[in-house]
Structure formats: structure tokens, C-alpha cells
A and B are shown apart, each in its own frame.
Chain A
Amino acid sequence: MAATGVDSEITKSDKYSILLPTYNERENLPIIIWLIIKYLDGSGIDFEVIIIDDGSPDGTIEVAKQLQNLYGSNKIVLRPREKKLGLGTAYIHGIKHATGNFIIIMDADLSHHPKFIPEFIEVQKENDYDIVTGTRYMNGGGVYGWDFKRKLISRGANFLTQMLLRPGVSDLTGSFRLYKKDVLLKLVESCVSKGYVFQMEMIIRARQLNFSIGEVPITFVDRVYGESKLGGTEIIQFAKALLYLFATT
């Protein structure tokens, strides 16, 4: 019983800042916030959601304000930016305003389900990991809404990455992750790539800097609203990043 008391005190001192970069997510934002509240409120987890909207023309920020009124400004924090800027700078912008010692990053398009957040937190605590990353490729994880071609590209790219970089992590391009705040800051500063390959570089740099990484299997439900994208440009971007990391790390 005494141990439980100590545990809950440690838990109390931890705070999780969830960064939600948004661009035209008017439809999805209320749902994702509702789900986050549903799974975290009353669980004893101290958290805040930081919405970083890059001047969405669909008025995402207006909906975000309504949500802030509904759930309180200690839970929902708005840190909008004027226009669409890079993902890396969105993270830095969010970290600057985060009051938590842990940062959780997820997509606001409902492909990442907040029900996994408590699992991320639990796994982090077990081994005091610097990073916990969601993986679609491990047992218990998976995807919904992908056709054969999409699966083939995904599995093929992953096979190649595993062979060339041997990262020790099964999913490198996923972006549902938990970081210690100082670790994330250090990683963002040491990364050079833009776009979605940025996620891959973050994990490779983390390995290089000897940070410990845990994994949680996640289900990835491809965008319920809106179009998903995987074209030629993404594949070329990926190949370039892979070769760059292969030759330099």
C-alpha cells in the first residue's frame, strides 16, 4: 500500500502535453478532443492539449475556441500560427508553450486513436524510456483502409529501411509518439529533413544519440474524412531520406 502511495505521487508530478498540429481539421478536431477527454479525464493523468493551427482557411481555430470554452483553458490551449509552416517548427512552437514534462504527438485526422495514450504512458514508465513510438507493424497493431498497393509500398519501404538502417524500431514513419520534453527538443534541433520523412530521421537521430525507445502496437485507421496521400513525390522523398541517412549515420 505504501508503494502505491509513492507511485501515485510520482504520477502526479508528471504532466503530458499533447501537441495537435492542425490544418483544415474542422470536421475532426471536436471528435479527437472528445476522445482525448474520454480516455484521459478521470484517469489520474495530468494533461493538456495544445492545438497548433496554421491559419486553416476552413476556420479550424473557431471550432477550437468553442472546444476551449467547453473543456476549459487549462485543458485546451490554443497556439495558432499565421500560415502553414513546417512540422518541425510546429513542434518547437508547441514545446515552447508546453507546461508538461512529456510531449505526446499525434495526428488530428483520427488515424491515431487516443485510447493508446494510456498505454504509451504505461510503457514509458516501465523502463523510463526517452521515447515511446506507436507501431503498425508489431503484433496487435495494424491498418484499416489500405489496398494491396498501399500495403505493398509500406511493407517494401519498411523492409528496405530495416535492412539498410537497422534502427531497432519496427515503425519509423509513424508519427504517434511520446517524448520526454528535452529529448524531443534535442531531436528536432538535430533533424534536417522536412515533411513526413522527418519522423524517420527523428528515430534514427534518437538511436544515434543513444536515447532509449519503447514501442506500443497501434491500429491506424486511414482518414475517415478527407483524402489520404501517397504519391510519387512521397516515394522519392522517402528514397532520398533513406539514402541520406544510410550514407551519413
Chain B
Amino acid sequence: MILIHKISNLNNIVLHRIMTKLLEWVSAASAFFAIWYSLIGGYVKHPMIENNMDVILISPIFFLILFGVYAVTVVLYRVFTFNNCEAAFLELQKQIKEANTELTAKGLKW
């Protein structure tokens, strides 16, 4: 267990040192577009590719929209389920009153 942990730590260090998050995104996007271009450019030939060419052509936009929908859904869901800490507010109000009473009794002036 400890050994596995050590190795994954080491991996983390190496990854961080070599690649920034920006570079990770750039390389992932490059890989995607390299595949996409090889399909639409006719570098890879297969009947299945030719039959679905229009789908392949618009796939980047399709994925972008899909991701947009996902992002909006997740963010809105989290906004509406964001916990309203009514109880914490009421507790604090009560404690502020208690503190005021006690501190004033102890001679604090503010």
C-alpha cells in the first residue's frame, strides 16, 4: 500500500513538473483533432467512415454543445441545491446576543 502510494506520489511530481494544465489541454485537444482530421481527410479508409461522414464532420461542435449542456445542468443543479444554512444563521444570532450580554456584564465597552 505504502509503496503504491509512494509511486503515485512520484507520478504526480513528474507530471506536474513536465506539464502545466494548459499543456495537458492542448495535447488532449491535439490528439482529438489529429484523429478527427485523419477521418475527414480520407487518410483512413473504411466504409463505415464514409457512410457517417456528416456525423464525423460536425462531431467537434456536437461534443462542444453536449459539454455546454452538461456544464449548465451541473452548475444550475448545484445552485438550486446549495445548502441554505438557516439554522447556522439563527444559532449565530442567538450567540451574538449571549456574547453581548455576557461581555457587557464583564465590563467590556465597545
Give the docked Cα–Cα distance between A151 and B84 (Å): 11
Q: Is the CB of A219 within 8 A of B85?
A: yes
Contact A34:B75 (CB < 8 A) given known A146-B82, A220-B85, A224-B96 = no
Question: Nearest chain B CB to A28's CB is how many angstroms away?
Answer: 9
**Is A123 an interface position by the 8 A CB rule?**
no
Q: How far is the CA of A172 from the CA of B107 in the complex (A)?
A: 40
Q: Give every chain A residue within 8 A of B78 (Cβ-Cβ).
A: 137, 155, 159
In B6-23, the 8 Å CB interface with A consists of 9, 12-13, 16, 20-22
Instruction: Given contact pairs A142-B88, A151-B79, enumerate 10 new A-B contacts (beta carbons under 8 Å).
Output: A66-B109, A143-B82, A143-B83, A144-B89, A155-B79, A164-B21, A220-B85, A246-B20, A246-B22, A248-B20
CA A10 to CA B86, docked complex, whole Å:
37
- Measured between beta carbons, the chain A residues less than 8 angstroms from B106 are 70
| Chain B 28-71 near chain A by CB (<8 Å), digits 1 or 0 | 00000000000000000000000000000000000000000001
Which residues of B does A touch, CB under 8 Å?
9, 12-13, 16, 20-22, 25, 71, 74-75, 78-79, 82-86, 88-89, 92-93, 95-96, 99-100, 102-103, 106-110
Query: How near does chain B come to A136, taking the closest CB pair, in angstroms?
Result: 8
Query: Known: A66-B108, A144-B88. Is A159-B74 also a contact (CB below 8 A)?
Result: yes
Q: How many angstroms from the CA of A119 to the CA of B71 in the assembled complex?
A: 33
Interchain CB contact under 8 A, A110 and B13: no
- Taking a contact as CB atoms under 8 Å apart, the answer to whether B20 and A152 are in contact is no
Whether A247 contacts B20 by the Cβ 8 Å rule is yes
